[in-house]
Structures are given as C-alpha cells and as structure tokens.
Amino acid sequence: MTNATITGWGRYTPPTILSNDDLEHLTDTSDEWITTRTGIKERRISHIATSDMANIAGRRALAAAGLEPEDVDLVMLATCTGDTVIPSPAALLQAKLGAFNATAFDLNAACSGWLYGIDLATSMIRIGRHRRILLIGAERLSHYLDFSNRATAVLFGDGAGAVVLEATTDDEGVLATTTGADGSAAEILWVPGVGTSGDRYQNEDHSAYGVIMDGPEVFRRAVTTMGEAATRVVVEAGLDVDDVDLLIPHQANIRIIDATARRLKLRPEQVYVNIQAYGNTSAATIPIALSEAVEQGRVQPGSILVFAAFGAGLTWAAASVRWGARVEPIGTATVDVPPPDGDVFDLLRSNIEFFGKGVSE
C-alpha cells in the first residue's frame, strides 16, 4: 500500500514581537488577563506578505527533505489571509519557490486548513495522483485585526509552517484523518465585508473590516469538536490513547488545549504547546509547532503523533501519524529576508491611525 509520509519540515516566524505589555498601550487589556485566559504572552507581526512567509517556510521544508523546488508536483497553500484573491496566493508562491513542475492551489478552512491539507494530500498520494507535495500553512492575521478591539487583538499572530509529504511503501506516515464542517455557525467567527458579499461602493466601510467573534461560543464548540476528532483518528488508526507520543494541537487557547489533552488522558509532556510565543496563527499553528517539536527532539523515529484543529466555518480536523526513521533534516535553506522597517508600533501604524485609539503611555 502507498502511504504519505512527512519527510521535510520548516517554519518562518516574523522577527517583530507584539507583547502583552505592548498591547496594554493599544487597548484596554492586561498581561495578567491575557496570560490567564489564553496562555499567550506574545505574538509576531509580519512585515512581509503571506506568500513570502510561505516561501521561506516552504524552502526550509524542502531543504529538510533534501529536495529542490522542481521536485514537488503539488504546492498546497492553506491560508485564509492570502495576499491576493486573483491570482491565488498559491500561484504567487509557486513562482517565488520556482516550483515550476507543480500545480498549485489554495485551501481555505481557516484554522483547520493545514489539517484539511494533510487529509487531501494523503488521499492524493494514496491514489497515485501526486508523489511529492509541499503543504504550507501561512497566515497574516494582523491584516484583519483591529488593534483597539481587545476581544480579538490579543489572540492572533502571523507566521508560516510547512511540510513535505512523499509517497512511500514503508509502514509509516499518515494513519487516519477526519475533517468536518458546520457552516450554520459561520457568524460566531467571521470577517464581514471582505469578498463579493461586501459592498465595493461603500468606500468608507471598505477598509473597516475586522474579526467578529463570539469567544465563549467558539470556545465551547472547540473543546467538543477537537477532542472528538482527536479521539476518532486514534481509534481509526487501530491505536489506543496510550500509544500516542505527542499531541500537537491547534494553538488557540491554552484552556482549549488542556481540555483536549484531558479528553485523551495525556500527560502535559505528551502535548506540544507554543501558544505563549506566537498566539493563534490559524492554519500555521500546527506546522510551526511540528517543526519546533522535531528540532527539540520531541519527535523520535516511529513516534505516534496526533494533530487536531478547529476554526472558523466552523471547521475541524484531526490526523494521526507514525513518524518515519529520520528526525534530522537532510539540508538547511538559507533565505534572505529583508529586515522590518521600524518597531512593532511602526508596523501597526496604519491600523492604529485608522481605528483611532492611538498608542497610550
């Protein structure tokens, strides 16, 4: 049987940090509230486009797999914050990578997007449609935030993570996947006014879009759907929860992560958490976390991993994976990135001016 196994991993996290202390100058919040309610201490703000972040993460994943960009036959970009609508950001990314033997498309399932991608990539490899796939989750959520709105400004950040999936006949790789959606709950987490539902002639509203969220309702549903999805991919892989070495969950709120871990009866050391450093980077959280976990030795040859996510839509997804024999990258990519122009408040200047609250002392 043909399996889909992860052979490369990489990430790009922008250098500019927005700390909880910085946020205290932009909105009515506190480090204490954000830390205890979410687990987040800081997040990154990107000075480069989504497809540029994806390009860097993608090149790093390709180098780790020992591949050149021309070696992949599909580039899949999971994002809900692409730099363009036409053409797809995946097309821009394909050119930036130089992956000219690959077809390229975007996949938008919000925070579940990268895991939807794992599900799709696995199916495509199993049926022989593709053999080498570069799957990237990249998000520039800061573009959609109103940094004077404490309900959402504190939660999200920017970044990109990538993996290479390759066909193998070895007994490894993706074991089971599940995906789900409930569009009837769309309005508990959405960005109104963007897309063809918006009124393009209402210029004064045109750029005023922002994330609208019913936090407690999203929280409630997240706990249920993530826990159920994670349990399903363990059972469908013929495994017991005792077999799970590491859960790498979507990083949206430490309390949601803890609830999911409790559901699987996992100990803290069996759960990868980096929400304190990056906040919620949507489709990028799991591939960023995976690449860190491999580097830190938390993933070993043959490790059983479980990924689980939920997101706007609502969507949810999970996958169980048996890691292959290699935990060392074959190569590393050196990529030149232009430095940011100014500090975090300079990067957010247009947002701060537009939403009108300014920076307090």
DSSP 8-state assignment for residue 126: H
x-marked contacts with ligand COA along 102-141 as a string, rule CB under 6 A: ---------x------------------------------
Residue 335 beta carbon to ligand COA: minimum distance, rounded to whole angstroms: 28
Query: Per rule CB under 6 A, is residue 352 in the interface with ligand COA?
Result: no
Name the residue whose CB lies closest to ligand COA. 215
DSSP 8-state assignment for residue 242: G
In the annotation, is 111 catalytic? yes
Give how many residues touch ligand COA by CB under 6 A: 21
Provide the token pair at 290. Answer: 């995976």
Report the C-alpha gap between 257 and 251 in whole angstroms: 7
In the annotation, is 206 catalytic? no
Query: Per rule CB under 6 A, is residue 293 in the interface with ligand COA?
Result: no
Asked if 250 and 314 count as a contact pair (C-beta separation under 8 A), the reply is: no
Query: Per rule CB under 6 A, is residue 144 in the interface with ligand COA?
Result: no
* Binds ligand COA by CB under 6 A, chosen from 81, 142, 253, 260: 253
Range 311-330, binding ligand COA (CB under 6 A): 311
| Complex with ligand COA: residue 181 or 241, whichever CB lies closer | 181
**Residue 295 identity (one-letter amino acid):** E
* Binds ligand COA by CB under 6 A, chosen from 19, 105, 151, 167: 151
DSSP 8-state assignment for residue 156: B
Query: Per rule CB under 6 A, is residue 38 in the interface with ligand COA?
Result: yes
Report the C-alpha gap between 37 and 48 in whole angstroms: 30
Range 210-239, binding ligand COA (CB under 6 A): 213, 215-216, 218-219, 222
Phi, psi of 134 (to 5 degrees): -100, 115
In the annotation, is 253 catalytic? no
Residue 327: name the closest of 285, 292, 289, 297 by CA.
297
Query: Among residues 3, 20, 55, 111, which one is catalytic?
Result: 111
Distances (CA, A) of 123 to 200, 249, 266, 303: 39, 22, 29, 22
CA angle (233, 235, 241) in 5-degree steps: 95
The β-bridge partners of 164 are 8, 134
The site for ligand COA (CB under 6 A) is made up of 29, 33-34, 37-38, 111, 150-151, 154-155, 189, 213, 215-216, 218-219, 222, 252-253, 280, 311
